[in-house]
Amino acid sequence: MIGSIEVRSLSRSFHTTVRRPGFTGALRSLVNPERAVKHAVSDISFDVAPGELLALLGPNGAGKSTTIKMLTGILTPTSGEARVAGVVPYEDRERNARNIGAVFGQRTQLWWDLPVRESFAILRDIYEVPGAEHAARLKEFDDILELSSFWDTRVRHLSLGQRVRCDLAAALLHDPPVVFLDEPTIGMDVVVKEQVREFLRHQVEQRGRTVLLTTHDMTEVERLAERVVLVNHGRLVLDGTLDEIRRKYGSTWQVRATLADAHTDVVPPPGITLLRQEGPQVVFGPDGPDAPTVHQALKAVIERYEVTGIAIDEADLEDVMRAAYVHAGPGAEGA
């Protein structure tokens, strides 16, 4: 289907040479190298619907980039299958290339010694984009990314933010239905990040592009993604909405209440535990896997006690993801 991504039991292993420590070890590795197999991605399955923005998350070395490289056709999986816009990417690279755009972090695809517009023109020729279509699309990108103020500058003289904006435009100039973005905003300032987010929202909502995004920036995930796939140690740990992830790993809220009567006998509602009590000040937290959400807890506390003040501290997504990464250690089962 145009714009969809289907991943079935995708795995990729690499054969590496084990480097032994020290001079003798290095010599032994040279004469008698010891081979090891590294499973970068193991049995991952997920789907991305046309027009959906999916965040592929995980700590460094989790297998995100390897997955993206298989989906872009750069890398052939050891086993499993993937289809991007109906094409098996590693079997038909050139056909797949017409359906996808990609940005790999700070690695630019622009021509270093040429003005940005020349790079765009070369890509136009490579992708066989008609001139009028190319001009219209450039204008559309310029409206959001403000490229025209520097697109006559040589790439080597651009700032990081300018360059990444140009790279984003370059990746979409041929109007691909599917876009892969591997940490596109890494190292950028907040203003440019917001500009890029607006651009991506526009591409998903107005142009209906399917976007697979990897990032370590949780603000970006909150602003852009409704659905998240979490991988760790090459395995899929969770595939769900942000709410589901919060429910599973984000139950680190606290409800701080000031009781009207400091001598109240505090017996917390079910699923809630008393963390601290200092006179009329009490702090509640979640208790066990069936703990209520922070809003349910707030309601329960107000209903049970007479309070003169109440506040909540909810874990932000970064805390949630940290908890998820810790829970999803080696051998964690898929959710």
| Binding residues for another protein (CB under 8 A) | 14, 65-66, 69, 72-76, 93-95, 97-98, 100, 102, 104, 107-109, 111-115, 118, 121-123, 125-128, 154, 156
Give min distance, CB of 326 to another protein, in A: 27
* Beta carbon nearer to another protein, 4 or 108: 108
* Beta carbon nearer to another protein, 109 or 254: 109
Among candidates 213, 208, 177, which has minimal Cα distance to 196?
213
* Beta carbon nearer to another protein, 76 or 296: 76
Give min distance, CB of 59 to another protein, in A: 18
Give min distance, CB of 233 to another protein, in A: 18
Q: How far apart are CA 104 and CA 125, in angstroms?
A: 22
* Beta carbon nearer to another protein, 155 or 321: 155
DSSP line for 242-286: HHHHHHHH----EEEEEESSTT----PPTTEEEEEEETTEEEEEE
Q: How far apart are CA 265 and CA 154, in angstroms?
A: 72
* Beta carbon nearer to another protein, 234 or 286: 234
Query: Which tokens hold the place of 244?
Result: 């589901």
Instruction: Identify any residues that bridge with 44 across adjacent strands, giving them in sequence order.
Output: 10
Give min distance, CB of 85 to another protein, in A: 14
**Burial bucket for residue 36 (CB in 10 Å: 0-12, 13-18, 19+):** exposed
Q: Is residue 210 within 8 Å of residue 240, measured between CB atoms?
A: no
Q: Give start and end residues of each alpha helix (H) in the chain.
A: 22-31, 64-71, 93-99, 116-126, 131-145, 160-172, 190-205, 218-224, 242-249, 294-304, 317-327
* Beta carbon nearer to another protein, 128 or 265: 128
Give min distance, CB of 81 to another protein, in A: 19
Q: What angle do CA 278, 281, 285 make, to 5 degrees?
A: 100
Give min distance, CB of 174 to another protein, in A: 9
* Beta carbon nearer to another protein, 214 or 251: 214
Q: How far apart are CA 100 and CA 180, in angstroms?
A: 7
Mode of pairing for the β-strands spanning 254-259 and 307-313: antiparallel
Give min distance, CB of 111 to another protein, in A: 6
